[in-house]
Amino acid sequence: MTSILFLCLGNICRSPTAEGIMRVRARETGLDVTLDSAGTGDWHQGKAPDARAIAEAARRATPIDDLRARQITRDDFYRFDHIVAMDLSNMEDLRRLQPDDSTATLSLLFDHVPGREGQPVADPWYGDESDFVLCWEDCDQGVRGLLASLAKA
C-alpha cells in the first residue's frame, strides 16, 4: 500500500485540499493508499481547514471538514512513502527536517505535472474565494499527475 503525506505551511488550505482530492481520485482509480496532511508550522494544530477550503471542497462533493491540522513529525519521514510539498519554502523546510536515514521520497505536487515541475501551488490564505477555486484546480491537477506517476512506478 502506498502512503502519501501532503504538506503546506499551516495545514488548513492547500494540503487538506490535496488530501481530500486524493481520497476521491484514489477511490475512483482503485488505488489502495494511506493519506494524511500536515504543516510545517504548529499554530493551527487541531483546527479544521479554512472555511473557504471547506466550502470549495463541499461544492465539489469532497468533504474535508473532518480533517484537523497537525505539524509534521520526524516519524512522518519513515511512515510515509511520499511527502508532497506545496511550494519551494515547504520543500526547503522538509529537506532541513529530513533525517539522513529517511525512507520518504520528497517532491513538489507540481513535479508530477509535465511542464509545471518546480512550480508552487499558490497559497490562497490571503485571497478570496476565487483563490480557493484556483487552489482546488491546481491541487486536482497535481493529484492527477501524482496518480499517473504512481501508476508508472
Which of 72, 67, 88 has its CA nearest to residue 22? Answer: 67
Please state, in angstroms and rounded to a whole number, the distance separating the CA atoms of residues 16 and 38: 8
- Cβ pair 142, 150 in contact under 8 A: no
Please state, in angstroms and rounded to a whole number, the distance separating the CA atoms of residues 68 and 144: 24
Please state, in angstroms and rounded to a whole number, the distance separating the CA atoms of residues 115 and 117: 6
Please state, in angstroms and rounded to a whole number, the distance separating the CA atoms of residues 79 and 67: 19
Please state, in angstroms and rounded to a whole number, the distance separating the CA atoms of residues 30 and 51: 30
3-state SS assignment for residue 2: strand
Residues annotated as catalytic are 8, 14, 123
